[in-house]
Amino acid sequence: MKEILEKLLLMATDEVKAAKSLKELEDLRVKYLGKKGEVTSVLKNMKDLSNEERPIVGKMANDVREAIENLLDSVKEDKKRIEMDIQLQTEGIDVTMPSKKSLRGHKHPLNVALDEIKEIFLGMGFKIAEGPEIDTVYHNFDALNAPVDHPSRSLSDTFYINEELILRTQTSPIQVRTMKSQKPPIRIIAPGRCFRNDEIDATHSPMFHQIEGLVVDKDITMADLKGTLDMFAKRLFGSQTRTKFRPHYFPFTEPSGEVDVSCFKCGGEGCRFCKGSGWIEILGCGMVHPNVLSECGIDPEVYTGFAFGMGLDRITMLKYEIDDIRILFENDIRLIKQF
């Protein structure tokens, strides 16, 4: 039996070493060490041995069994490595193939730009005020010191519902409503849709969007107006942005001004966006006219304030280099998906 065991060990060693896969190793384990395996059957025949031989052969059989097991384990470990290497080698992928995106929706570009502007003003202590798209001639013109015969009131400029009701031409009526319903200190921005009787073309739309701002309190100065708008411009267009305040005229503010920002496309060197001037006009502003404060029930001797307004469509178009306003209202998802 000793010879048989020695022979088995030699055979198993050869076969294990020659095994090509984990499967073959497993088969060999069964062949030699399984319940009906060859080493096992040697042990089963031990009962035929003498009492003296039994422990010796028993030990020997166990040694052989252990040797085969160790051999199997070590070869198995090597084989596993090799197989894993093969797996890693054969499973290579092209990492430049397209990703699996979960498709999210996109905000309209006008609202993407508006959100940015809202965040800036919220951070500066402003609240967001809203008002109706249809408003009164009183809120839109009269209370804002607009002369009775001002051309902007005409049918060729403003959409009328009846003699007293119109589609607001600016978001200023929200300012009026706010001043009439709240006591200073007031600090709001008023974004919204506005309407003017313009034929549709690449730069005109009968519906457009404005954002206006209003600050009313004691001791509000033009210096505050300048500081606020300069900070806004730097936040929106980058900290290197410079602002230029020029006198202008609006009936509802005095003194009034327009604000140019250094061109955020070329940094002020001159390009097609700033028409070579290095500056882009972006805002109208001024100190709230005392007539407007009085009309809204605020004593202009006690309080002063400033207001400003800008065109959201224009800013959006400049920012994203959209050259035709009509595209904004076509809502082709290939546009919207870009923002």
Partner 1 sequence: MRVPIEWLKSYVDIENLDDKTLMDKLVLTGSNNEGSYKICEGIENVVVGKILNIIQHPNADKLVVCTVDVGTEEIQIVTGATNISIGDYIPVALNGAVIAGGVKIKKGKLRGEVSNGMLCSLEELGFEGSSIPKEFDDGILILDQAYPIGEDILKILKLDEAVIEFEITPNRPDCLSMLGMAREVSASFDVPVKLPELYNETAASEVETFASVRIDDPDLCPRYAAKIIKNIMIETSPLWMQLRLMQSGMRPINNIVDITNFVMLEYGQPIHAFDLHSVSGGEIIVRRAKSEEVITTLDDKDRILTDEMLVIADKDKPIAIAGVMGGANTEINSDTKAVLLEVATFDKTSIRKTSKDLGLRSEASSRYEKGVSVELPAMVVDRVCHLIELLGAGEVVPGLIDVYPNKASRLEIPFRVERINQMIGSELTAQEMIEILKKLEIEVIDTDGLKAIPPYYRLDLLKEIDLVEEIARLYGYDQIKMTLPKTSTWGARTNAQLIEEKAKTELLSSGVDEILTYSFVSRKDLDRINLPENSLLRNQVELINPLGEEFSVMRASLVPNVLEVLSRNYNRKNLKAKVFEMGSVFLPKELPVKQLPIEKKMLTIGLYGEHEDFFTLKGIVENMLSGIGVEGYYFEKETHSPTYHTGRCANIIWGDHILGTMGEIHPLVQEEYSLGIRTYVADLDFNLIMQLSRESKLFKAIPRYPAIERDIAVLVKDETTSYQIEQLVKASAGALLESVVMFDMYKGRQIPEGYKSVAYALVFRSEERTLEDEAVNKIFSKILKALEDELDAQLR
Distance CA 269, CA 274 (A): 9
Binding mask 118-157 for partner 1 (x = CB under 8 A): ---xxxxxxxx---xxxxx-----------xxx----xx-
180 lines the binding site for partner 1 (CB under 8 A): no
Residues numbered 309-328 forming contacts with partner 1, rule: CB under 8 A: 328
Structure tokens belonging to residue 6: 């020695």
Tell whether residue 307 is a contact of partner 1 (CB under 8 A).
Answer: no
As measured in angstroms, the least distance from the Cβ of 266 to partner 1 is: 19
Q: Which stretch binds partner 1 (CB under 8 A): 9-17, 42-50, 55-63, 215-223?
A: 215-223
Alpha carbon dihedral 123, 263, 336, 311, in 10-degree steps, equals: 70
Tokens of 40: 């096992």
- Least separation in angstroms between CB 203 and partner 1: 16
Per-residue mark of binding to partner 1, 218-247 (x: CB under 8 A)? -xxxxxx-xxx-xx------------xxxx
CB of 204 to partner 1, least distance (A): 11
**Closest distance to partner 1 from the beta carbon of 333 (Å):** 5
Residue from 287, 298, 317, 318 that binds partner 1 (CB under 8 A)? 287
Answer yes or no: are the C-beta atoms of 207 and 330 closer than 8 Å: no
Quick check: 110 binds partner 1 (CB under 8 A)?
Answer: yes
Whichever of 94 and 149 has its CB closer to partner 1, that residue is 149
215 lines the binding site for partner 1 (CB under 8 A): yes
Q: Which is nearer to partner 1, 193 or 319 (CB)?
A: 193
- Which DSSP category does 183 fall into? P
Q: Is 185 in the site for partner 1 (CB under 8 A)?
A: yes
What is the contact mask toward partner 1 in residues 241 to 280, using x (rule: CB under 8 A)? ---xxxxxx----xxxxx----------------------
Give CA torsion, residues 261, 266, 268, 274, to 10 deg: -60
Site for partner 1 in 14-43 (CB under 8 A): none
| Given 187, 211, 233, 311, the residue binding partner 1 (CB under 8 A) | 187
Of residues 76 through 105, those in contact with partner 1 by CB under 8 A are: 102-105
193 binding partner 1? (CB under 8 A): yes
- Give me the least distance between CB of 136 and partner 1, in Å please: 7
Taking residue 188's Cβ as centre, other Cβ atoms within 10 Å add up to 21
Q: Which is nearer to partner 1, 22 or 222 (CB)?
A: 222
Q: Cβ closer to partner 1: 241 or 304?
A: 304
Minimum CB separation of residue 214 from partner 1 in Å reads 11
Distance, CA of 79 to CA of 89 (rounded, Å): 15
How far apart (Å, rounded) are the C-alpha atoms in residues 28 and 229?
84
**Residue 126 CB, nearest distance to partner 1 (Å)?**
5
* The residue type at 269: E
Span of 33-41, 46-54, 73-81, 216-224 interacting with partner 1 by CB under 8 A: 216-224
Is 69 one of the binding residues for partner 1 (CB under 8 A)?
no
C-alpha–C-alpha distance, residues 108 and 91, integer Å: 42
